Amino acid sequence: MIEELERAAEELNRAVRTRNAGAAAGLLDDEFALTSSLGTGLHIDKAAWLEGLDAIQTDELDARDVQTQVFGDVGVAVWRMDWQARAEGDDLSGPYVVSDVWLRGNGGWRLRWRSWARLNAEFLRQELRG
């Protein structure tokens, strides 16, 4: 089961790299949400995420230090993403920590929730100072 989940996660990363919204759509749950508690505090639903995918030029997306667990029909993956990307002139590049919650149904694994944060030492120092 873990191998199936890891394959689905890699397929989604490949869809991001190639800006393939059709492939990505098949791997996202209808209730998908992307959230971030650091920085912009963004919250993006499935439709907005798929619409924005084409605007992001990804040169590199590497998953590292992946830790995956399966609990029945729920899969959780925590990993580090090394991302080289741009969107509308903004450099999105850097290391991120990503937490994914996947649900398994008749169609296989679908990503329900992704939470991520860019690992930025200066920003984190300022946050910790309050």
Structure tokens at 118: 């860019």
Cα(37)–Cα(97) distance, rounded to whole angstroms? Answer: 12
Q: How many domains does the chain have?
A: 1
Please report the pLDDT score of residue 70 as a whole number.
97
User: 6-38: per-residue pLDDT in tens?
Assistant: 999 999 999 999 999 999 999 999 999 999 865
User: 73-103: per-residue pLDDT in tens?
Assistant: 999 999 999 999 998 888 888 899 999 999 9
pTM of the complete model: 0.86
Q: Residue 115: how many CB atoms within 10 A of its CB?
A: 16
Mean pLDDT of the chain: 90
In the chain, the N- to C-terminal Cα span, in Å, equals: 42
Q: What CATH number did the domain enclosing 71 receive?
A: 3.10.450.50
Structure tokens at 45: 């639903």
The residue segments making up the domain with residue 35 are: 2-129
Q: Is 27 helix (H, G, I), strand (E, B) or coil?
A: coil
Beta bridge partners of 104: 109
**8 Å CB contact between 83 and 92:** yes
